[in-house]
Chains A and B, each alone.
Chain A
Amino acid sequence: MSVDFRIPELETERLRLRLPRMDDLPAHEDFRASPRSKGVGGPFDRPSSFAHLSGIIGQWQLRGYGRWMVADKVTDEPFGVVGIYHPADWPEPEIGWSIYANAEGRGIAHEAALATRDYVYDTLGWDRIVSLIMADNDRSIRLAHRMGCTKTTAFVHPELGHLDIWVHAKPGGTA
């Protein structure tokens, strides 16, 4: 059996959502070691970041969908990780976003999350996609509001604690 698999790339106005690569690792390490990663369970030690970046690719193999490295469409500079996150014992697939400091305040998470949402609803044809957000992650909650998400139930993860489940509006349909 061949393990060749292709990760679909997405393009937006300013961004390319592509496969993570080894040369994204320093930026990914910086993010995970910084307080910015608090909203996703961090900060994490640097050595763990290689496995984490590899695991982003591995999830595509395990699930057939996953997260992308969000990069500048022109310069290819990595801006963060956005896409469909779905590890074991997760209540359902979710749109996750982790944006590096260099991309802060530029609407990049929003642009990439919208592209992911469209991919989920239009390309994958799913009926529902959510985002799991910690109650004190104000930035992510703001983005959820901006995307028209509705807060519903919660999920308590044994390691990460309480996560609110926000349902993403389906464009042209009912959320």
Chain B
Amino acid sequence: MTMTLQTERLVLRQPHGGDADAIIAYYNTERSQYTGGNLGRFNAWKQTAAMLGHWDIAGYGLWAVTARGNDDILGLVGPFYPAGWPETEVGWVVFEGSEGKGYAFEAAKAALADARSRLGWRDIVHYIAPENARSIKLAERLGAVRDPDAATPKPDDPCLVYRQPKVAA
């Protein structure tokens, strides 16, 4: 069974091998530098494999964001909690050509609701590079507030933590 989340304009589904070229291309670009990318092809490929496998090993992962009626992947949005991450995160990346349309906001809202209701997540954060002004704006639009005292995933990488308000389960 394949699970999906539906929003007004989007369908969020599990990513698959057919999305790989687009994901690898993204993680190989300079504009992915704030989201663990700008990796070169070898590591971008490995990152993509890890992203796909996250679903199997954890039972959830970043959703592939698609527009209704077109299965092409436009970005990745959703719950992400690799071992060693201090807290449960809902993250987002939108690929080139699909920014500026509010897709990340629309998808993240659905992914947040699903993480709360289906995964039972209570403390949800967004880890954002300090220079990533667009993501900071999006986090605030999603209701998150910066938590200067929160732990960050990688001590050596400067990172802001935006925290979602707790919502009763």
- A interface residues with partner B (beta carbon < 8 Å): 1-4, 19-22, 25, 29, 46-47, 49-59, 61-62, 87-89, 157-159
Contacts and interface: CB of A to CB of B under 8 A. Distances in A.
Interface of B: 1-2, 14-18, 20, 24, 41-42, 44-58, 71, 82-84, 153-154
What DSSP secondary structure best describes chain B's contact surface? Answer: helix
A25 B41 CA distance: 26
Given A47-B84, A58-B52, A59-B49, A88 B58 contact: no
A51 B24 contact: no
Given A46-B84, A56-B53, A62-B17, A88 B45 contact: yes
Nearest to B15: A3
A77 B24 CA distance: 34
A21 B83 CA distance: 13
B2 A57 contact: no
A54 B57 contact: yes
A49 B83 CA distance: 8
A54 B41 contact: no
A44 B83 CA distance: 14
Contacts of A47: 82-84, 153-154
B17 A87 contact: no
A54 B16 contact: no
A62 B49 contact: yes
Contact of A61 (B1, B42, B53, B82): B53
